[in-house]
């Protein structure tokens, strides 16, 4: 099964933003400034189309508007106090919710019980009858559940799969509504989602899969290591060591690469019993040369 990363007609670039500018920073600034007004115009046109009975054109227009707002918000992540951040996010979600109601069957906004809060997401009923396979999808570091519509959720539903998308801790809805920060133990996030999926009518409980995108590829694989009700896991991308990848572009202070072996004076290596930051590092310093341990 091939799941395309967009729905036709939802990702065109406004003409004023197509020209080359002074690098990525300049392009991002233009996007943050230019996409919301474009989204507003597209949303007005789409709402007008719905009112005159053109539901499909209106739905697709609302998806385009949602996508423009989402992209504008993305380019403002380095400016969390900018009022355009909340505005663009709220408008993106609102346009998507309007579009979701115009699908047949509608894409259903859902709230999945999670600890003392809920996880916000969407349920897509797959085309077909009876018990259907189900794919749970989530984004990565800061991507919203709405983006997963274009990353295979709509395509999978058309192909006979139920789909559940959700924002987990650290992702937009969970962070904004309930202040839930990012966490690495994603199995404790996915297990309540699987519990909830198992209660839905029309779900084949033996064919539930998990798909994670970007850093979500690591999170999905981590969850699959502990949540054994999953029949399959898709990691887009496959990430084995997130820490190594995160620091790969930076010079990391280290005694490796032969540095420790160059120490020639006697060296006492200690380990503080209650040091939670560097616990265990002492054992990695045993490569220091015999000369330094005299």
Helix (H, G, I), strand (E, B) or coil at 4: coil
- State the pLDDT at residue 292: 47
CB 142 within 8 A of CB 188: no
Q: Which of 57, 92, 182, 214 is catalytic?
A: 214
pLDDT tens for 40-96 read: 999 999 999 999 999 999 999 999 999 999 988 888 877 778 888 889 999 999 999
pLDDT tens for 268-291 read: 666 666 666 666 555 555 545 455
Average pLDDT, the chain: 84
For 103-252, give the CATH class. Answer: alpha beta
Portion of the chain with pLDDT greater than 70, in percent? 77
- State the pLDDT at residue 287: 47
CB 242 within 8 A of CB 269: no
- State the pLDDT at residue 290: 52
What's the distance, CA 194 to chain centroid?
18
Q: Which residue has the higher pLDDT, 80 or 144?
A: 144
Rounded-to-integer distance, Cα 35 and Cα 105, Å: 30
Domain boundary assignment for the chain: 1-102, 103-252, 260-293
User: Is 214 designated active site?
Assistant: yes
207 vs 127, 136, 159, 219, CA distance in Å?
16, 11, 15, 20
Helix (H, G, I), strand (E, B) or coil at 164: strand
Rounded-to-integer distance, Cα 212 and Cα 181, Å: 18
pLDDT tens for 174-219 read: 999 999 999 989 999 999 999 999 999 999 999 999 999 989 999 9
Angular region, 248: left φ>0, alpha ψ -120 to 50, beta rest: alpha
284 vs 66, 203, 272, CA distance in Å?
50, 49, 15
- State the pLDDT at residue 204: 97
We find that the CATH architecture of domain 1-102 is Up-down Bundle (1.20)
CB 155 within 8 A of CB 143: no
Which among 29, 8, 31, 37 has a CA at the least distance from the CA of 18?
A: 31
């Amino acid at each position: 099964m091939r799941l395309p990363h967009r729905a036709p007609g939802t990702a065109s670039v406004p003409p004023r933003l197509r020209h080359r500018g002074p690098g990525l920073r300049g392009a991002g600034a233009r996007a943050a400034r230019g996409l919301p007004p474009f989204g507003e115009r597209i949303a007005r046109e789409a709402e007008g189309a719905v009112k005159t009975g053109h539901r499909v054109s209106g739905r697709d227009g609302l998806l385009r508007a949602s996508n423009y707002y989402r992209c504008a918000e993305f380019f403002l992540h380095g400016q969390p106090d900018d009022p355009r951040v909340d505005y663009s996010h709220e408008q993106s979600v609102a346009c998507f919710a309007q579009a979701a109601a115009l699908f047949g069957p509608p894409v259903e906004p859902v709230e999945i019980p999670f600890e003392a809060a809920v996880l916000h997401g969407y349920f897509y009923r797959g085309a077909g009858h009876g018990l259907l396979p189900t794919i749970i999808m989530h984004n990565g570091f800061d991507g919203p559940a709405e983006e997963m519509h274009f990353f295979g959720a709509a395509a999978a539903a058309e192909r006979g799969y139920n789909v559940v998308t959700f924002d987990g801790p650290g992702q937009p809805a969970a962070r904004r509504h309930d202040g839930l920060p990012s966490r690495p133990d994603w199995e404790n996030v996915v297990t309540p989602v699987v519990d909830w999926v198992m209660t839905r009518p029309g779900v084949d409980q033996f064919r539930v899969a998990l798909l994670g995108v970007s850093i979500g590829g690591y999170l999905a694989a981590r969850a699959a290591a502990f949540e054994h009700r999953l029949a399959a896991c898709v990691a887009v991308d496959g990430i084995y060591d997130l820490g190594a990848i995160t620091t790969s572009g930076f010079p990391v202070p280290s005694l490796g690469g032969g540095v420790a072996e160059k120490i020639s004076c006697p060296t006492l290596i200690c380990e503080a019993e209650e040091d939670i930051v560097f616990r265990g590092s002492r054992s990695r310093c045993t490569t220091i040369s015999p000369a330094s341990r005299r």
